[in-house]
Amino acid sequence: LLAQKPGWGRRYSILAGFVEPGESLEACCHREALEEAGVEIEAPEYVGSQPWPFPHQLMVAFTARYRSGTIRPDPNELSDARWFALDSLPELPPPFSLSRQTIDLWIESRIGR
């Protein structure tokens, strides 16, 4: 599942959000997927982290499996969200970004199968 934020042009990325006070990182993954895209996920797995300078935060990446739901992008957060096949990926973030590194890991896991 990749999403597009308003004003990003044609670029798609992984879902992103902020951890609420008292919330675990895994619970944040579940909540953000449901709030932003309308889907339920399961088995979030930590991928890595990257410093994020706006405003002095840490970006943390997870992968997860789809559980249920129909994609319904929150129009306040996203201009689009959809599933993409490996052979028809859209424009992606630059390679140095944690989002792109996470997507690249997913691609590598599919090619090696």
Q: In what helix (H) or strand (E) does residue 68 lie, and over which residues does it extend?
A: strand 57-68
User: What's the pTM value of the predicted model, to 2 decimals?
Assistant: 0.90
Q: Rounded CA gap, 74 and 6, in Å?
A: 11
pLDDT at residue number 38:
97
Q: Which residues contact 55 (CB under 8 A, 6 or more apart)?
A: none
* pLDDT at 25 (0 to 100): 97
Burial track 24-58 (b if 16+ CB lie within 10 A, e otherwise)? eeeebbbebbbebbebebeebeeeeeeeeeeeeee
How confident is the model at residue 110, as a pLDDT?
Answer: 82
Q: What pLDDT sits at residue 29?
A: 97
* Residue 71: predicted pLDDT: 98
pLDDT tens for the chain, 113 residues: list them. Answer: 999 999 888 999 999 999 999 999 999 999 999 999 999 999 999 999 999 877 788 999 999 999 999 999 999 999 999 999 999 999 999 999 999 999 999 999 888 75
